[in-house]
A and B are shown apart, each in its own frame.
Chain A
């Protein structure tokens, strides 16, 4: 049940709400502070001051423009919290706080805005990562699409943690934290107006708790690389890793978890789940001797309950002519029927085909 704001605020966002004047203050205090309240944010200073804490600082930013803004499994608000937390987590950082920048289109229903702010509050509370500073602008109708959100995040990286694509080593096992493609296919089917039976839901989820469990549960240095396969999917993320670390990556089609409803939707729409976006999954490159232990840790967490080892890194060859033979900087897929094909990065957005 949304609270009744009709006495204090109009039903839609007006340009006035971005004016910086009284209407802005009213929106901030009636909606944002009410839901996102914490000591630092509610002070409403020009910037948040955070007490000095030991360790290196991870700093990231991401903008969220998803359409539709509401979808099964989440909305643009949950994505804005989870996505930025996950970017911090992928460097092994413990998130401290987020900023929240909102660009609102004039005419956005206030109920929609409040629903999104409540989602942001819930995601922030559940993940224990507060919104520490924020900003709101309103643009004339047609100059933005309903709502755009930017969140930046800072986190702390412990001294013995060094997680980067550069650290991936030959022999590393690749763990995927769960089934791929849930978010991408949910958005694409909604966007295409295609109603499919089954339970297609975005996997929007924060992964920092899972990552901290991995870091504390495994010997230092055993996790080499963490990446979240968002836009471009598992395929594009693996291509980036192979290109950065200069190694060959081989994955096996049969080992990669994909929900049957996602596979079915992909078959209908002519899409490849390897290229679909995920918003609550990570890929981990783990030293082979700790792979089984890491997998068990993944599976002991709700975020990684369906984790699987999907492939291996190797030195690769320098043979650029025959791309299937395991050339370095390339990704290959062993198919279900025992064939091999090269995996290339996504080119442009996946589009519906003729036949």
Chain B
């Protein structure tokens, strides 16, 4: 398959692995590198790359899985909304099986009679709203800069078409504030950041400049194929070896320095920064996006006057620490025992991109932890 097979070429992969191993061997100490994005976590496991990396590379999964960082209170309010009379919910598939604090899921709510559609795109939700004018369509807005522009575009479209029965409950988040908060913690001892390729298509590689200064982190934007990731790791290892902390872009076929101005402008039209609660990380100032007053008719929170409950994390669940990179799934007492993809307790097991789900699905070898 064109533009995919080239980036999975075994000979090229082997060459890059040798190059990486030579560089890390010269550094002769463990390199602690955080892969921020859940898709990176999954790609590294799925391609089998994790088991091939040089022993010096210690990969730490970051807070970049949208479902995983959604607070328990937000999950509970989504479940509550599904049961409101006269409403229907449209969700991305990841959200469908996430258990709330009472263990219930949207999948169960639908089986009980709630109207819930699993969609690929928020525009599908808008279409369903148009076809069902007597019901209020609620779309739980989840995700980072990659997802937000499509939600903004859908709200703009709803506004242009004057559709009155479509609302979004925004829990949208931005990537930089939690990274700044996390990386300020010296206990994490990070050397470098494998920057999320998809988010970077919107925010641009330059967005990571603040992390290179005071945190002295090597930041490399990476794609998702094995050779993309290896190229990024080589650039990172070289920075660490030469004691540099810069932003480099190893995903130039998708990411530029400034980002996608049009998408950013669309997000700015609809949303404004707000303090946001992250699962495991607490409330991070200015890390969320709320719908602006001008578009309040599309804001589920203002239309339905909902109060987000103050929900506690499930007892024994270490998702919070896993999201911070402090620990890994096998150290959680629930992992693989009470908490499995078939019966998930914490959010990191529910989302297919969650760290626990990746570890469970693709093996529990200890390399690279």
List A residues at the B interface (Cβ < 8 Å): 192-194, 260, 263-264, 267, 269-270, 272, 321-324, 333-342, 344, 347-348, 351-355
Contact = CB atoms under 8 A, between A and B. Distances in A.
B47 A339 contact: yes
Given A338-B52, A347-B341, A355-B143, A324 B93 contact: no
A337 B365 contact: no
Contacts, number: 101
A303 to B, nearest CB: 25
Contact of B353 (A322, A337, A353): A353
Interface in B1-18: 1, 4, 8, 10, 13-14
A341 B120 contact: no
17 contacts: A264-B1, A321-B364, A324-B51, A337-B49, A337-B226, A338-B14, A339-B49, A339-B50, A341-B48, A348-B97, A352-B92, A352-B118, A354-B67, A354-B94, A355-B39, A355-B146, A355-B198
Contact of A354 (B48, B52, B143): B143
Interface residues of B, number: 44
Interface string B136-165: 000000111011000000000000000000
Interface of B: 1, 4, 8, 10, 13-14, 39, 45-52, 66-67, 92-94, 96-97, 118-120, 124, 142-144, 146-147, 198, 226, 340-342, 352-353, 360-365
A267 B4 contact: yes
Contacts of B353: 353
A334 B49 CA distance: 11
A340 B147 contact: no
Contacts of B146: 355
A338 to B, nearest CB: 6
B92 A337 contact: no
Contacts of A348: 97, 341-342
A353 B46 contact: no
Given A194-B120, A263-B1, A339-B49, A352 B93 contact: yes
A324 B367 CA distance: 11
B317 to A, nearest CB: 19
Contacts of B364: 321-323
Contacts of A194: 120
Contact of A260 (B1, B8, B48, B340): B1
A354 B92 contact: yes
Contacts of B49: 337, 339
